[in-house]
Amino acid sequence: MAGSIYGTLFRLSTWGESHGDGIGVVVDGCPAGLPLTEEAVQQYLNRRKPGQTRYSTPRRENDTVSILSGVFEGRTTGTPISMLVKNESQRSSDYSEIAGYYRPGHADYTMDQKYGFRDYRGGGRTSARETIGRVAGGAVASKLLEELGISVCAYTRSIGPVSINYKNCSKENIEKSPLRMPDLHASEQAEELLEKTMKEQDSLGGIIECIVSGVPAGIGEPVFDKLDACLAHAVLSIGATKGIEFGAGFDAAAMRGSEDNDGFTADACGHVRKTSNNAGGILGGMSDGSEIIFRTAFKPTPSISREQQTVNKAGEPITVSVRGRHDPIVVPRAVVVVESMAAVAIADLMMCSMSSRLDRMKDFFGKTK
Amino acid sequence: MAGSIYGTLFRLSTWGESHGDGIGVVVDGCPAGLPLTEEAVQQYLNRRKPGQTRYSTPRRENDTVSILSGVFEGRTTGTPISMLVKNESQRSSDYSEIAGYYRPGHADYTMDQKYGFRDYRGGGRTSARETIGRVAGGAVASKLLEELGISVCAYTRSIGPVSINYKNCSKENIEKSPLRMPDLHASEQAEELLEKTMKEQDSLGGIIECIVSGVPAGIGEPVFDKLDACLAHAVLSIGATKGIEFGAGFDAAAMRGSEDNDGFTADACGHVRKTSNNAGGILGGMSDGSEIIFRTAFKPTPSISREQQTVNKAGEPITVSVRGRHDPIVVPRAVVVVESMAAVAIADLMMCSMSSRLDRMKDFFGKTK
Amino acid sequence: MAGSIYGTLFRLSTWGESHGDGIGVVVDGCPAGLPLTEEAVQQYLNRRKPGQTRYSTPRRENDTVSILSGVFEGRTTGTPISMLVKNESQRSSDYSEIAGYYRPGHADYTMDQKYGFRDYRGGGRTSARETIGRVAGGAVASKLLEELGISVCAYTRSIGPVSINYKNCSKENIEKSPLRMPDLHASEQAEELLEKTMKEQDSLGGIIECIVSGVPAGIGEPVFDKLDACLAHAVLSIGATKGIEFGAGFDAAAMRGSEDNDGFTADACGHVRKTSNNAGGILGGMSDGSEIIFRTAFKPTPSISREQQTVNKAGEPITVSVRGRHDPIVVPRAVVVVESMAAVAIADLMMCSMSSRLDRMKDFFGKTK
Amino acid sequence: MAGSIYGTLFRLSTWGESHGDGIGVVVDGCPAGLPLTEEAVQQYLNRRKPGQTRYSTPRRENDTVSILSGVFEGRTTGTPISMLVKNESQRSSDYSEIAGYYRPGHADYTMDQKYGFRDYRGGGRTSARETIGRVAGGAVASKLLEELGISVCAYTRSIGPVSINYKNCSKENIEKSPLRMPDLHASEQAEELLEKTMKEQDSLGGIIECIVSGVPAGIGEPVFDKLDACLAHAVLSIGATKGIEFGAGFDAAAMRGSEDNDGFTADACGHVRKTSNNAGGILGGMSDGSEIIFRTAFKPTPSISREQQTVNKAGEPITVSVRGRHDPIVVPRAVVVVESMAAVAIADLMMCSMSSRLDRMKDFFGKTK
């Protein structure tokens, strides 16, 4: 399958390897008339960029985006938006030795099995640089959602065993914390743990939580393209993710129906609202008008300089220590990647939902004639 | 979006409501030559059928399948396989009152928002009877995988707070346990808990674990249609699921890289093997040749006869007690549904993977000429 | 590929063989709220039904449709609409001998090559009965388009060398002519030719023309899913078609730009109109607000009782005379099939076009909140 | 719909406007291991390039391609292949005046209707420069088909009323003729006609014929994704096309069954062959092992300097003369575009066909384990 294309009506086609000429994305299906500038996209990319803190690779990559098509006089034209980020800081020699063996926790072995050989330089297409295309595309989706009154906000919920305490959280803290934790006390604890882990030549994982506000009720296409199913597809396609849960998630499995069920009520204007949100904003695979909440687990960075046992291509046992410039934790930089994939999935499903009712179609086309 | 169609090359198109004429599925893209009988499909449906134990709805539904097309002289022909299960035991009067209000934990409200009105009889398309189409389609996928040396096995891992102990488990126990738990001791404990919960007019949720063996390395299409992303899409499209995790899953988020990384080794024949399986059989979104392992969380059945607060369509607060014949736990009957969706997702990705290498394509077409 | 599913948002999934239990279609993605009855669908199927005139097979097939799902209280619910037509008049013995050889002009050989064997009874899936699913699905699409002010009308333009004269045509004539020619004089001439051809144990082909009125400007998704490209895909998927052309079509290739270009003008209300329609209602792959016009060529029925040379599966030369009950001309019965595929393609593209402009999306979602 | 992406397993995602930074394509799903260089792709682009003869626009565009990803050490890696051609010779001032009115025969009006405004510079995305992405992608597909023993060859069959005579044709002549006609005598006649037409400030259309050799039997996915239906979709998505026909095409509509049917025979080795090819190499929507033949009609270039009547955006009648640098005939440069789209459609369908038979799947996966 052509696996580098996502979406039905709002589509990303991403490309690029760690050590090729660049990384990019084509966004196809974005509606015409959306204000879009390189600066706006760059802001999203800057949140993903390495070198922001000492907890990310010291590689200097500006990751400057160029919009090559699809925008005219500051607005999208409805035609494909091609965006390009040139690769700058590659040192291919760093990686040459990994061509011959399989790094634990990496896709070296599976790539070789699937394709017969691989571009081993910096992990090639399996490098985290691949997410640049996702973030540039996600920036466009986020801008579109913003125009429709929808916001997507993700943050670090935990790093290793250190979790945030909701009592200490504020949205403003997220960008203040080098780890993107909305609880600055937890952030400090996590930083200490990271320092210790780095000294031990090891790495950590964590959990990202994402909240989407303002999605109208009824988005998601049962029975296979439910909102949660599509969000899961989009988010779990990000490298290093190991799971996703919505609302009460895995905890719901241990609840009783009377606890888990969210009651319905009506607000002063007669709008139907829920009295709790164990559902995470999704009922029967469709948005229910409340906040959409999900969490996704990231495994620890597999690239560690500590010695590990593996085999080379000949099947001979060897000991390796993964060198190069690697993040001891991917979670803080992945926050904007999670937001991006959520935005893309929701933008796509919103477009797909526009033909769900004849009365709305008649109204829509009645005006275009 | 046309949400009732799943897949790229191996495709399910399911249809049917709880109280319509029947439920069915069209399987498109199944290869020609696969032995297939109604009996074989029926065996899968029987595992989903209600009335097997006292922990499922006492409705009598035989759920007898007919294959209407696509099979000739006992083998699939490569054309669409249409399968039909007639509805038998509908009592529409049971449900008429729910037309006017929104049951907590159900899709009544979101369906009304999306479509403007709904077939309220027995939940219509949101009924668990919808999964009949998935299981009939999954039976075909499972038979196909079986021919390719692949087996899919799911079971109940936990019900409410009661979990299996792997030391007590055996595959044979699964069908011996009325709750499909491979640990019969845990099964008894869970049964006791269920009895108590039923008396309290309440319901329980649980976790299903699924193991897929025999998948060759390299299945899954990065970067968006990774094996885990596609399995998540397929499995989380099942009603009542709230999360999914692969291998070490959410626990991986609290591990260190040195713990989580699976080492590589080689067996006596020189085949590359892993020394552990925290990855759950998937590296970089592609199968790595070891067992694929995932778990999915089911919320407790939302239909409980205990009184709950909600509103009617006018937004007026009312108290409801959901009557009718409902399972106090959906997990045991959902085991075969999880297997089905896993089988369908993997069958589809295997087909899509056949063109990943020029050497294999040349070999393949060299023979067909 | 799963080739029996068509469409992106409005989707048909058809199934069924000539001599299986039945033929059917699942329509997925139809908006909720569309009035739909079995009678309405039956009217379309009756136009396709054999035995209407002496120029079609004398098989008695009532082709009675049942709607099994997706309709509640007379309106579509937004869930899949499954429709079934049971097969009634199969005589498998008629066909048993064709299992061993390849009929000229038929798909016997290609089916064997692709699938390894075939359901040879009555042509199996390659039988013209396959179009029942298209017509039932097309009936739904036509009803939807009707609600949006769009009509689709096809008719026989020529049979063998006999063409209609536009001066003699009226829409009312179409159903008066046994050959569905809007020019009754031409129809009589064609009937005479058919009589002669039938006596000579031979068959004829012809051309169907289709006009779609009322499509708003801007439908079609450049650069690959242009309106003409998608119509061509849909229409040329009908068996026995050999070509399609739009507006001036192949004649445009011999015109000069100054002749072929349609000028623009404005009507009394200031609406932009074209002064001619060589474009056939499509400019740059998008509808231009004028009538959409296309023609498609059908080859003569390949099943003729006259003797023909062919080979059996062993490659040995044999002489065959195709027996059974066959139409000497498929064109009149194919008129409604062409309408159906055109309606489906246009309904699908209209849905896909709803997200082309941000202002319209904002307007749309502004109301749904 | 996201209309700038084509294909199921072998996919093109094209982007770019006439006067943006460049034009490009991402090829997703190309198998790993295909030898590919920029030089190879450039050869295809050179055949499309303007300025080759006096019958094409005198714009100087080198249209130099860069491969930005997906190739490592001279071979494709299985990851997306991104290719970029920078725009060089834009003079935006040429076009500024067309922003306010609708050129006859162009998509100005339909673009405005669909998207609300348009990038009017050089036609924006509707410019023939858009085909650069198709040709670069088609070059990759052609190289892949070549490895599988398949060749695609198109040429000019007619220009205005001047057609080739098959008796005078040779493949070598195609590139000798400035109009890409394989009959040099017809080419000279057509050149004379073109000179005359250019003097009269007018333009011509023509017909391109395409022959594909070496496709194994059984390619194409009935009933909707038949080989002819998919080729029609791909080819009629090219700008300025008005029709397509296969084999005997529209002439078949006037034949009798006994004339049109191709007989079967067997060659010395017992391989089944046809005795004629009215079918154009396709039976029942699947390749039959003989040459695939189709023809497509191109309308005359709509941009003519002769005066034409149209309206401006306010609906006021005006007289326009389309200036700028335009081809008086697009056909010769479109030959390689037709080849490209045919190659892409066939490559995609071949990949999709690999899972049609269980025996072949078992054989395939038996080896990969």
Going from the N-terminus, what domains does chain A have, and what CATH number goes with each?
A: 5-368 (3.60.150.10)
- Torsion-angle region of B294 (φ positive above 0: left; ψ -120 to 50: alpha; else: beta): beta
Is residue D21 pLDDT above 60, yes or no? yes
Compute how many other C-beta atoms are within 10 angstroms of the C-beta atom of residue C125.
30
The span from the CA of C9 to the CA of C355, in Å, is 12
Cβ of D14 within 8 Å of Cβ of A80? The answer is yes
Q: D319 to chain A nearest CA, in Å?
A: 26
Residues in chain A: 369
Pairwise pLDDT comparison (B89 vs D315), residue with the higher score: D315
pLDDT per residue over A238-289, tens digit each? 999 999 999 999 999 999 999 999 999 998 888 999 999 999 999 999 999 9
Bond preceding residue D85 cis, omega within 30 of 0: no
| Sequence letter at residue B149 | G
**Residues C245, D242 contacting (CB under 8 angstroms):** yes
Per-residue confidence at D58, pLDDT binned at 50, 70, 90? low
Let me know: does C237 contact D250? Beta carbons within 8 Å: no
Beta strand ranges found along chain B (DSSP E): 5-6, 11-16, 22-28, 65-67, 71-72, 75-76, 81-86, 151-159, 162-163, 206-213, 241-246, 264-266, 272-274, 282-283, 286-287, 292-298, 308-311, 317-320
* C148 closest CB neighbour out of A147, A149, A362: A362
Say if the Cβ atoms of D355 and B9 lie within 8 Å: yes
Query: Taking CB atoms and an 8 Å limit, are A148 and C365 in contact across chains?
Result: yes
Token pair, residue A116, equals 């017969």
CB contact under 8 A, C22 and B68: yes
Measured from the Cβ of residue B359, the count of other Cβ atoms closer than 10 Å reads: 12
| Best to test chain C binding among D4, D6, D11, D110 (most C CBs inside 10 Å) | D110
Q: Shortest CB distance from C69 goes to which of B15, B68, B121?
A: B15
By mean pLDDT, which of A65-69, C81-85, D123-127 is the weakest?
D123-127
Mean predicted confidence (pLDDT) in C138-156: 98
Chain D residue numbers with beta carbons less than 8 Å from the beta carbon of C272 are 102, 109, 311, 315
- Cβ count near A317 (within 10 Å): 12
| Predicted pLDDT of residue C59 | 66
> Which tokens is B268 given?
């006596």
Question: Is residue A179 helix, strand or coil?
Answer: coil
* Structural tokens at position B44: 């899968």
Distance CA A241, CA A298 (A): 4
Which residues in chain A touch residue D368, judged by CB atoms under 8 angstroms apart? 113
Q: What average pLDDT is seen over chain D?
A: 94
Nearest beta carbon to residue C253 from set D259, D266, D298: D298
- Predicted pLDDT of residue D101: 93
Size of interface A-B (CB pairs under 8 A): 393
Whole-number mean pLDDT of chain C? 94
The whole-angstrom separation of Cα B281 and Cα B260 is 13
* Contact yes or no for C368 and A355 at CB 8 A: no
| CA dist., res. C227 & res. C223, Å (int) | 10
Confidence tier at B233 by pLDDT (50, 70, 90):
very high
Q: Which residues of B touch C15 (CB under 8 A)?
A: 26, 28, 68-70, 79-82
Convert the pLDDT of each residue in B173-198 to its tens digit: 999 999 999 999 999 999 999 999 99
pLDDT in tens, C37-53: 999 999 999 999 887 77
If you measure CA to CA, which chain D residue comes closest to C2?
D221
> C312-349, pLDDT tens digit by residue?
999 999 999 887 667 899 999 999 999 999 999 999 99
- Cβ neighbours of residue D261 under 8 Å, at least 6 residues apart? C104, C105, C302, C304, C308, D278
Angle at Cα D359 formed by Cα D354 and Cα D360, nearest 5°?
Answer: 30
pLDDT bin (cut points 50, 70, 90) of residue C261 is very high
Q: Do B270 and A315 touch (CB under 8 A)?
A: yes
pLDDT > 70 fraction of chain D, expressed in percent and rounded: 95
pLDDT of C89 > 60? The answer is yes
Cβ-based contacts under 8 A for chains B and D: 102
Residues contacting residue B277 through CB under 8 Å, at least 6 positions apart: B247, B262, B290, B291, B293
Rounded CA-CA distance D8/D140 in Å is 16
Nearest 5°: the CA angle D101, D105, D108 is 40
Which helix (H) or strand (E) segment holds residue A153: the answer is strand A151-159
Which whole-number Å values give the CA distances from B352 to A231, A242, D227, in the listed order?
A: 22, 23, 19
Do the chains contact at D2 and A21, CB–CB below 8 Å? Answer: no
Q: Please tell me whether residue B202 adopts helix, strand or coil conformation.
A: coil
Chain A interface mutation, best of C358, C359, C362, highest count of A Cβ atoms under 10 Å: C358
Task: Report the C-alpha gap between B77 and D358 in whole angstroms.
Answer: 10
Residue C314 identity: A
Angle between helices C131-147 and C38-48 (to 10 degrees): 130
All residues of chain D having their beta carbon less than 8 Å from the beta carbon of residue B144 are: 358
> C interface toward A at CB cutoff 8 Å?
8-10, 29, 31-34, 76, 78-79, 144, 147-149, 216-218, 222, 350-352, 354-365, 367-369
The pLDDT tens digits for D89-132 are 666 566 667 788 999 999 999 999 999 999 988 889 999 999 99
Mean pLDDT, to the nearest integer, of B153-165? 98
C104:D234 CB<8 A: no
Phi and psi at C37, nearest 5°, equal -130, 160
**D280-338 pLDDT per residue, tens:** 999 999 999 999 999 999 999 999 999 999 999 999 999 998 876 678 999 999 999 99
CB contact under 8 A, D13 and A26: yes
Contacting residues of D for A3, CB less than 8 Å apart: 28-29
- Evaluate if residue C95 carries a pLDDT over 70: no
For residues A280 and A260, the answer to whether their CB atoms sit within 8 Å is no
pLDDT band for position A122 (cuts 50, 70, 90) = confident
Whether the complex's predicted ipTM is more than 0.95 is answered with yes
Which among B143, B123, B9 has a CA at the least distance from the CA of B67?
B143
Write out pLDDT tens, residues B17-53: 998 899 999 999 999 999 999 999 999 999 998 877 7
Report field, pTM of the whole predicted structure over 0.90: yes
Q: Which of C254, C302, C357 is closest, CB to CB, to D261?
A: C302
Searching chain B, which residue's CA lies closest to the CA of residue A256? B204
- Cα–Cα dist C36/C71, whole Å: 7
Residue of A30, C357, C365, A143 whose CA lies nearest to D116: C357
Q: How far apart are CA A82 and CA A131, in angstroms?
A: 15
Say if the Cβ atoms of B242 and A239 lie within 8 Å.
Answer: no
Structure tokens at D366: 């038996």
Cα distances (angstroms) measured from residue C291 to each of A109, B252, C231, D254? 57, 61, 14, 27
| Res C58 pLDDT > 90 | no
Does the structure show a pLDDT above 90 at D36?
A: yes
Give dist(CA A219, CA D298) in Å, integer. 43
Rounded mean pLDDT, A121-141:
94
pLDDT at B248 over 70: yes
Nearest to A31 among C31, C218, C358 (CB): C358
Alpha carbon of C119: minimum distance to chain B alpha carbons (Å): 6
Average pLDDT, chain B: 94
C368 and A359: CB-CB below 8 Å?
A: no
Tell me what pLDDT residue A269 has: 85
Which residues in D have their CB inside 8 Å of a CB on B? 8-10, 29, 31-34, 76, 78-79, 144, 147-149, 216-218, 222, 350-352, 354-365, 367-369
Q: Which residues of D touch A20 (CB under 8 A)?
A: 68-70
Q: Across the interface, which of A8, A79, A216 has its CB nearest the CB of C365? A: A216
Q: Which chains sit next to C, with 3 or more Cβ pairs under 8 A?
A: A, B, D
Nearest CA in chain B to A269: B315
**D222 contacts C125? CB cut-off 8 A:** yes
Distances (CA, A) of C227 to C88, C349, D260: 38, 8, 31
Element of type H or E holding A209: strand A206-213
DSSP D294: E
* pLDDT of D1 above 70: no
Please calculate the CA angle A62-A57-A113 and round it to the nearest 5 degrees. 100
For residue A206, the cross-strand partners are: A159, A298
Helix (H) or strand (E) segment spanning residue B339: helix B331-352
In sequence order, what are the beta bridge partners of B76? Answer: B71
d(CA D210, CA D219): 17
Task: Band the pLDDT of B3: cuts 50, 70, 90.
Answer: very high
Q: What secondary structure, in 3-state letters, does B272-322 show?
A: EEECCCCCCCEECCEECCCCEEEEEEECCCCCCCCCEEEEECCCCEEEECC
Half-sphere exposure of A285 (CA within 13 A, CB side): 26
D37-41 long-range contacts, CB within 8 A, separation 24+? D37/D67, D37/D71, D37/D74, D38/D65, D38/D66, D38/D67, D40/D139, D40/D143, D41/D65, D41/D67, D41/D83, D41/D136, D41/D139, D41/D140
Helices (H), D173-266: 173-176, 184-199, 227-236, 257-260
